[in-house]
Amino acid sequence: MISFNILVSICLLYVLGLFAVAYAAERWAETGRFAILRSPLVYTLSISVYCTAWTFYGAVGSAARNGLEFVAIYLGPTLVFVGWWWLLHKLVRIGRVQRITSIADLLSSRYGKSGGLAVLVTVLAVVGTTPYIALQLQSMTLSFAVFTTATGAPAPSPTVTAFYVAAGLAVFTIIFGTRNLDANERHHGVVTAIAVEAVVKLAALLSVGIFVVWGVASGPADIFARMDPELLQSSQVFNTRWVMLNFLSACAIICLPRMFQVIVVENSNERHLATASWAFPLYLFLMSLFVLPIAIAGQSILAPDANPDLFVLTVPLDQGQQTLATLAFLGGFSSATSMVIVASIALSTMMSNHIVLPLWLRMNASRNPASDDVRDLLLRSRRASIAVVVALGYVYFQFNGGTGALASIGLIAFLGVAQVLPALLGGLFWHSATRPAAIASICTGFFIWAYTLFVPSFSGAALMGPEALASGPFGISWLAPQNLLGVGITDPLVHAVFWSLGLNTVVFVVVSLLTTPSAIERLQSVQFINVFGQVSPRRGITRSTAIEDLLVLAQRILGREEAMALFRAQARHQGKDSPLPDATNELIATLEREIAGSVGAAAAHAMMAQVTGGSEISFEDMIAVADETAQIMEYSARLETQSKELEQAAAQLRDANAKLTELGAQKDTFLSQVSHELRTPMTSIRTFSEILQDGDTLAPEQLNHFATIIHSESIRLTRLLDDILDLSFMENGRVQLNLETVPVQSIIDRALATTQAQANELGAVIRRDTTAEQITLYTDADRLSQVLINLVTNALKHCGTTPPEVSVLSGLHDGKLLITVADNGRGISEDDIDLIFEKFSKLSKKFTSGSAGLGLPISREIVKNLGGTLVYAGSSMGAVFRITLPLRTTETPESA
Amino acid sequence: MPDRTKRPTLPSRPGRRFRDAATLLPVTGLLLLLTPLMSIFTRAQSLFGLPVSFFYVFSVWAGLILLAFFLARRALRINVSK
């Protein structure tokens, strides 16, 4: 049998080993060898601080009493971790961005950096954690007692044992938890030691489990065959209590101060969370795998009155496995110590940041906070806080007399800290959540929790007698702590969860809806809820501040070197040569965040306010924020306009391109048509000149005939070229007009005189109304008569009837001269109407006129140059062309 | 080139699928472990010599861990934290 003294020596050696690990880790961290310390493995193992002595000893006890119920305590956290994407991811990101130091800091920061809320949460956390620490002390004294009773050796009383354990833990925590005031509030040494302890406790529990299943029994089937059939049958696994326990443990993994410390504050890399999302549930899985077998073994081989909470120790001892029992003892010791260490660090941070520092600031309100060494104060107050927290646990242990099963004490603590959950979730997801609502809801939940669960846990104590517990204080039955309003929930825990969290949530929602968030709460709510969006540094508050004051303050809190480095970096950022930057809003905001990393948001805000002389967000600040929004909107509107303009420009370019392509195609067509037209006369000229060259044998009449043909073809060629030249000039608007005042009659006279010969030849009838021609016109008479000649010639030629009748009528219409040239022929077929004004278009192959098809295009261009229009007006009575001309042609034609 | 960091962009396809899976996993666990569904699966008394409720709870648990493991690997690969 191992004597008590050997056991104590083993414990001391183990603690010394932890010291060595923590010390080495601190040294590694200082020399920058982070690789091992900052791995996801260490992070995951440090989260396993969730598994306390309650898990190690109490889970087996719970399994022996209630079967599978103990699993609920691990399934809740498992669901939270596999669902890390829902909540933990956001929580960790906010913790990093806002430099959150504790859960009280998180809530106070979210709800407008409220000092009062931070104090409230701190008190709640201390009260909620105290039973938990007592639980650890109780399990350690119990485990010591197991060995001492087994050996019968003289040993100190449980009170003394607990005192030494508590004192030892406080010393260890003070040494490694408050060695430095890290800017990010991270403790490499402690976290590494916790990771080592996690391995020890897992190894210990697995060893005992394996021994029980394959050493005591002969395999899983055998061990379950020994099970008392009542154990799993009597309690249907699924019931209200099962759901409540899962829910409570899920709350606890988020809200417990020590869990928040290791998950959020000590997190150095968000990616570690992804690994922990499966590794931590796996750890829990392994921890609980052998719990039921150990419980069954204990029940089957030990005396019926043996304490099931100690089966982990007593089963190996009963089987004579000294070493295994010692390992199990060390596992329980690890579980208890790691919990107390982390919990007291987390609570001491909260107490010093949210209670001691604000009090000190208030007492020294008249003085500049930079005039004393705040760092020293913080470290001293943290050390004192750790001692206070551990002492409180010790007092509770003494007061509660070590009664009550381990599991029920743990659940009391769970429900206590779970009261912050509505305010926490509301703060992370609901913009309308307000500070009064958070305070009211936490107070409500806290009070009901204390009344229905915490106070009754001091069974038989002076606070509330058993008769008051049963029938309500002063005999008021509907106020009975474990049966409020007579709802008839038999399980006290389910009853307390229902009333405390239910009313808590109702109060939170109702008060939030009744109150309006302040300006700073609105700003913070955006920062928290949209943490994955575009995070812009919060605008600082416009104040005039001496940069020296800020530097002194920063040096006091961050330390001389760090503060100087920060200021130099800021100065470089501002592009200044001197080591001191300007006290811009950005600098003040950055500095406040950095300081918040050490002392919490509320205290940092208060200190900065004292130095910079302004604490509230002013109207101007809100205007500035609004301005920023307005600027963004204006910018986006400008972008929109620009993009519209670009679109328009692109459309215009496309149009221009299409037009150019079309023009290019027209030009090609035109050139090929011109060449074709030129070729015909050229061919005949060439042929006849060749005949003339070797034409010695030709008769003189023939020679004369051929020369005449050549001559007439040349004339035709010349005319064609003239026409093309003319057309091209007119199309470009470069034609020279000889403007004069002439009567319309004379123009028509001239045109008809020219066509007289042709008309006589065809026996045509020309009709006109000379009385209507008494109009004077200011125009180019030559050009206009050319148009008329063209039209009349066309009418004579293409009319198709014999004898042709052509009428040339003129008149005034709408202040303009209207000349109509009509014939009595078939008119122009529908298909050809579009073509008649095209160059070189010959509608009918039957008519071999000498023209090249340029007459109408030229006419149209002339009329256009004179400022009028020439249109084909229809085929109803034969072809009708209509010229509309202004009475006065101006010098600037439209195409100029 | 538009500045991608300034513009909210839709998550890429693998990112969306990861999000859906990550959102659904705890809901699945919730349904299997915290609703009366559990009573349906634990009606029988024993399986492979183990009590069936014990077997059921630990199997679902192990399944959740396995799925979370694959999800976490995916999360690290597509770098969703950034």
Cis amide prior to A517 (ω within 30 degrees): no
Do B68 and A278 lie within an 8 Å CB cutoff?
Answer: yes
Q: Which residues of B touch A79 (CB under 8 A)?
A: 26, 29-30, 33, 64
Classify residue B80: in a domain, yes or no: yes
Cβ distance of B65 and A78 shorter than 8 Å: yes
Residues of B with CB below 8 A from A232's CB?
51, 53-54
User: Does B27 reside within a domain?
Assistant: no
In the structure encoding, which two tokens stand for residue A403, read together? 């009664």
In 3D space, the residue among A783, A799, A794, A801 whose CA is nearest the CA of residue A893 turns out to be A783
- Tokens representing A827 are 């008119």
Give A537's DSSP letter: P
Q: Where are the beta strands (DSSP E) in A650-804?
A: 740-743, 765-768, 776-779
Q: Which residues of B touch A80 (CB under 8 A)?
A: 26
Cα distance between residue A7 and residue A3, in whole Å: 6
Would residue B59 count as lying in a domain?
A: yes
φ, ψ (nearest 5 deg) of residue A226: -80, -5
pLDDT score, position A720:
82
Q: Which residues of A touch B67 (CB under 8 A)?
A: 82
- Chain A positions in Cβ-Cβ contact with residue B75 (cut-off 8 Å): 274
Backbone angles phi, psi at A290, to 5 degrees: -100, 5
Q: Is A541 left (phi over 0), alpha (psi -120 to 50) or beta?
A: beta
Place of tokens 């009155």: A305
Subunit contact B23:A534, Cβ cutoff 8 A: no
User: Which residue does chain A place closest to B69, by CA atoms?
Assistant: A278
**B64, B67, B70: which to substitute to probe chain A, counting the most A Cβ within 10 Å?**
B64
In a domain, B5, yes or no: no
User: What's the whole-number mean pLDDT along residues B50-73?
Assistant: 87
By C-alpha distance, the chain A residue nearest B45 is A233
For residue B27, the distance in angstroms to the closest alpha carbon of chain A comes to 8
Sign of CA dihedral A250, A254, A257, A260: positive
Residues of chain A with pLDDT under 50: 183, 234-235, 371, 535-543, 615-616, 844-850, 893-896
Q: Closest partner residue to A278 among B26, B54, B65, by Cβ?
A: B65
B54 touching chain A per CB within 8 A: yes
Report whether A21 contacts A196 (CB < 8 A). yes
In a domain, B51, yes or no: yes
Chain A residues within an 8 Å CB radius of B77: none
| Paired strand residues for B52 | none
Establish if B2 belongs to a structural domain: no
B26 at A interface, C-beta within 8 A:
yes
Rounded to a whole number of angstroms, the distance from the CA of B38 to the nearest CA of chain A is 7
Residues of A in contact with B33 (CB under 8 A): 75, 79, 246
Overall residue count recorded for chain A in this entry? 896
Name the minimum distance, in Å, from the CA of A270 to any CA of chain B. 7
d(CA A313, CA A315): 6
First to last CA, chain A: 122
Non-local CB neighbours of A353 within 8 Å, separated by 6+ positions: A101, A102, A104, A105, A118, A378, A599, A600, A602, A603
A275 contacts in chain B (CB < 8 Å): 72, 76
Measure CB to CB from residue B23 to each of A75, A81, A85 and give the nearest one.
A85
Q: Which residues contact A854 (CB under 8 A, 6 or more apart)?
A: A720, A723, A724, A727, A839, A840
Among A87, A108, A115, A103, residue whose Cα is nearest residue A438? A108
Please name which of A791, A770, A792 lies closest in space to residue A858, comparing C-alpha atoms.
Answer: A791
Q: Which residue ranges form the domains of chain A, and what is each CATH number?
A: 4-428 (1.20.1730.10), 434-516 (no CATH), 544-613 (no CATH), 621-730 (1.10.287.130), 735-886 (3.30.565.10)
**Closest in B49, B61, B76 to A221, CB measured:** B49
Tell me which residues of chain A have a C-beta less than 8 Å from any C-beta of chain B: 68, 71, 75, 78-86, 89, 220-221, 224-225, 227, 232, 236-238, 242-243, 246, 270-271, 273-275, 277-278, 281-282, 285, 289, 292, 533-534
CA distance A77 to chain B (A): 11
The residue with tokens 């800290």 is: A417
CB-based burial of residue A263 (10 Å sphere; 0-12 exposed, 13-18 middle, 19+ buried)? buried
- The pLDDT value given to residue A234: 43
Contact A607, A361 (CB under 8 A): yes
When CB atoms are compared, the residue of B38, B66, B75 closest to A238 is B38
The answer to whether residue B23 is domain-embedded is no
State residue A441's pLDDT score.
Answer: 93
Report the greatest alpha carbon distance in chain B: 66
Report how many Cβ contacts below 8 Å link chain A to chain B.
Answer: 102
* Contact at CB, B64 and A281, closer than 8 angstroms: yes
Is residue A321 a contact partner of residue A211, using CB atoms and an 8 Å limit?
A: yes
Q: Tell which of B9, B28, B65, B82 to mutate to test the A interface (max A CBs under 10 Å).
A: B65
The CA distance from A118 to A257, in Å, is 13
Out of B46, B54, B64, the one facing A82 most closely (by C-beta) is B64
- pLDDT for res A896: 36
Amino acid sitting at position A570? Q
What ipTM does this complex have? 0.84
Residue type, A355: I
Question: Chain B residue closest to A84 (CA)?
Answer: B22
Number of domains in chain B: 1
Report the amino acid identity of residue A359: L
Best B20, B61, B71 member to test A by mutation, with max A CBs in 10 Å, is B61
Ramachandran angles phi, psi of A754, nearest 5°: -70, -35
Structure token digits, residue A50:
């969730």
Min distance B12 CA to chain A CA atoms (Å): 16
How far apart are alpha carbons B69 and B75 in whole angstroms?
10
Among the partner-chain residues A225, A271, A289, the one whose CB lies closest to the CB of B81 is A271
- Sign of the C-alpha dihedral, residues A216, A220, A223, A225? negative
Whether the CB-CB separation of A611 and A583 falls below 8 Å is answered with no
Rounded to a whole number of angstroms, the distance from the CA of B63 to the nearest CA of chain A is: 11
Q: Cβ contacts (< 8 Å) between B69 and chain A: which residues?
A: 278
**What tokens were used for A390?**
């551990």
In a domain, B13, yes or no: no
Chain A residues lying within 8 Å of B25, measured CB to CB: 82-83
- The residue range of the domain holding B82 is 37-82
Between B22, B34, B64, which is nearest A85 by CB? B22
Closest-approach residue (CA) in chain B for A245: B34
- Please give the Cα distance from A727 to A737 (Å, whole number): 14
Cα separation, A867 vs A869, whole angstroms = 7
Q: Are A288 and A201 within 8 A, CB to CB?
A: no
Contact criterion met (CB < 8 Å) for B23 and A221? no
DSSP class of residue A876?
Answer: B
CA-based nearest distance A87→chain B, Å: 10
Contact A220 B30 (CB under 8 A): no
B42 touches chain A (CB under 8 A): yes
Q: Is B78 on the interface with A (CB under 8 A)?
A: no
Q: A102 with A600: CB under 8 angstroms?
A: yes
Which pLDDT score, from 0 to 100, does residue A812 have? 83
Cα torsion A711, A714, A715, A716 to 10°: value is 120
